[in-house]
């Protein structure tokens, strides 16, 4: 798991708790597809690469559990374009 990121399966999200707030990447599991529909980083924590850490954790989890990722969130779509190493996991 990416350092500091936890998977809150009950809430359907990956979380990173920081002084200043909770960063999160929310998903719905549709069969074997993680539909990542929202990422959120509090304004005071923006610009530190925290959303990127969350999305990396999503893809690591998907790879370990033979899942695919549907990037419904615009940030996740942009992140996948910058990281071709995860292209085999992307479900469009």
Beta-strand runs (E) in 19-91? 21-30, 33-40, 68-71
- Rg value, the chain, Cα: 12
CA 20 – CA 78 distance, rounded (Å):
25
Catalytic residue among 54, 56, 73, 76: 73
23 included as an active-site residue = no
Q: Report the C-alpha gap between 85 and 67 in whole angstroms.
A: 15
Q: Which residues are catalytic?
A: 73
């Amino acid at each position: 798991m990416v350092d500091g990121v936890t998977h809150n399966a009950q809430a359907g999200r990956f979380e990173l708790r920081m002084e200043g707030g909770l960063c999160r990447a929310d998903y719905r599991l549709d069969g074997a597809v993680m539909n990542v529909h929202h990422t959120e980083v509090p304004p005071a924590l923006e610009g530190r690469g925290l959303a990127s850490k969350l999305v990396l954790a999503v893809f690591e989890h998907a790879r370990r559990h033979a899942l695919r990722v549907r990037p419904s969130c615009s940030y996740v779509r942009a992140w996948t374009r910058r990281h071709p190493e995860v292209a085999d996991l992307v479900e469009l």
